């Protein structure tokens, strides 16, 4: 009888051990999901998220010393008797160096530089009006500048307001500023962020040719931290549009047509570590800063020079093949060919954007 009791007791032990094991594993799993949930979600993205429909790609023909008339014909377009006016339309945060490069590069072709900045970030953090306080730096384009300030919203402590709402409001406010700049039907308008820079020869072609699609996305070569770290040609949000009364400022997909190899997109291409942290905490994806340690200057500097991800994220891809291909550090490039000419002409000032220049200042130069 005693032997049977012992046997029954032994059989009942596993459920208790299982319960204890689950009790110990549950907090471990919760902590793991909190710390790595985003990574897990991105890894399985090919299973839960379908890719957008592919663009219809337009070939882009260009070479030095080839006439614009010949280039128009190669694109099955015709030459115009006079060029269209171009309005460069951007919202601005703190990208002073890239703005200087952008405006010098595009100045020969742009009629008006329309720029709006806010006194807060998209996440509601108060910030200086960087452009206003550095406007003298852009005196070369003063007669073309149409400037506006968007009154931001200061977020209260612990606020969980969606930063995309404030971003959308600021982009919407650009419509009024663009009208005040004197744009007319048939003019070209560039809609992009400051760090999305069309190449000058792209603008020259589009302003001199008839037959250009009314809304044309620009495929930009994507770089991270500087032109030392080329990523791919995945940047597509920038557009050039033929203006009509129905045109509205947007930074999303607006057509199915994209113009190949049309410029540069340099993400997080800042001179100082202070500028990095302002963007990391202030832009619409600030939720990617999972821990305060992400904002440590030594960590950011190390990541820049390695070409690693600031947010310790997996690549945002729709197939496991592409995800695995892009895992790890971005490969360095020693090439400084086919970059903005103003950058090369002023290489000593912008060394941090070129191969071998990954070291950054601590604070932003005023």
Distance between the two ends of the chain, CA-based, in angstroms? 89
Report pLDDT for 325. Answer: 75
Alpha helices in 181-211, H assignment, sequence order = 200-208
**Beta strand spans in 185-300 (E):** 188-191, 196-198, 209-210, 215-218, 220-224, 230-235, 239-242, 257-259, 263-267
pLDDT grade for 5, boundaries at 50, 70 and 90? very low
Report pLDDT for 348. Answer: 97
Which string of DSSP letters, residue by residue, matches 15-42? Answer: HHHHHHHHHHHHHHHHHHHHHHHHHHHH
Report pLDDT for 324. Answer: 80
Do strands 209-210 and 78-79 pair parallel, antiparallel, or not at all (unpaired)?
Answer: antiparallel
Q: pLDDT by residue (tens digit) across 220-279? A: 999 999 999 999 999 999 999 999 999 999 999 999 999 999 999 999 999 999 999 999
Dist. CA 157–CA 166, nearest whole Å: 17
Average pLDDT over the chain, rounded to whole?
89
Percent of the chain past pLDDT 70, that is, above it, reads 85
Residue 366 in this model has a pLDDT that exceeds 60: no
Dist. CA 363–CA 47, nearest whole Å: 42
Average pLDDT, integer, range 66-70: 98
Report pLDDT for 153. Answer: 83
Which pair of tokens denotes residue 129? Answer: 């009006």
Worst-scoring range by mean pLDDT, 148-162, 168-182, 198-212?
148-162
Residue 158 in this model has a pLDDT that exceeds 60: no
Residues 103, 138 contacting (CB under 8 angstroms): yes
Q: pLDDT by residue (tens digit) across 301-332? A: 999 999 999 999 877 776 877 778 777 899 99
Dist. CA 239–CA 219, nearest whole Å: 9
The model carries a pTM of: 0.87
Dist. CA 193–CA 222, nearest whole Å: 13
């Amino acid at each position: 009888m005693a032997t049977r009791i012992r046997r029954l007791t032994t059989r009942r032990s596993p459920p208790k051990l299982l319960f204890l094991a689950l009790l110990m594993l549950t907090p471990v799993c919760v902590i793991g999901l909190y710390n790595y949930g985003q990574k897990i979600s991105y890894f399985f993205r090919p299973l839960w998220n379908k890719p957008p429909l592919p663009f219809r790609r337009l070939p882009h023909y260009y070479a030095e010393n080839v006439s614009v008339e010949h280039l128009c014909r190669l694109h099955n377009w015709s030459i115009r008797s006079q060029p269209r006016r171009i309005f460069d339309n951007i919202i601005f945060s703190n990208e002073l160096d890239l703005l200087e490069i952008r405006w010098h590069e595009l100045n020969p072709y742009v009629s008006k530089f329309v720029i709006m900045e806010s006194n807060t970030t998209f996440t509601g953090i108060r910030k200086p009006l960087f452009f206003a306080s550095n406007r003298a730096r852009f005196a070369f384009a003063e007669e073309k500048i149409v400037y506006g300030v968007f009154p931001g919203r200061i977020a209260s402590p612990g606020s969980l307001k969606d930063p995309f709402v404030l971003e959308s409001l600021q982009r919407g406010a650009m419509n009024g500023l663009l009208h005040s700049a004197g744009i007319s039907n048939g003019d070209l308008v560039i809609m992009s962020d400051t760090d999305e820079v069309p190449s000058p020869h792209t603008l020259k072609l589009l302003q001199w040719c008839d037959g250009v699609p009314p809304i044309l996305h620009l495929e930009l070569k994507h770089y991270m931290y500087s032109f030392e770290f080329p990523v791919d040609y995945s940047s597509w949000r920038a557009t050039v549009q033929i203006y009509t009364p129905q045109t509205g400022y947007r930074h999303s997909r607006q057509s199915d047509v994209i113009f190949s190899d049309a410029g540069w997109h340099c993400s997080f291409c800042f001179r100082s570590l202070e500028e990095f942290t302002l963007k990391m905490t202030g832009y619409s994806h600030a939720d990617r800063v999972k821990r305060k340690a992400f904002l440590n200057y030594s960590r950011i500097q190390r990541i820049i020079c390695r070409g690693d991800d600031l947010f310790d994220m997996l690549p945002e891809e729709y197939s496991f093949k592409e995800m695995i291909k892009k895992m790890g550090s971005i490969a360095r490039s020693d090439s400084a060919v086919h970059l903005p000419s103003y950058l090369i002409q002023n290489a000593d000032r912008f060394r941090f954007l070129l191969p071998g220049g990954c070291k950054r200042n601590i604070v932003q130069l005023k």
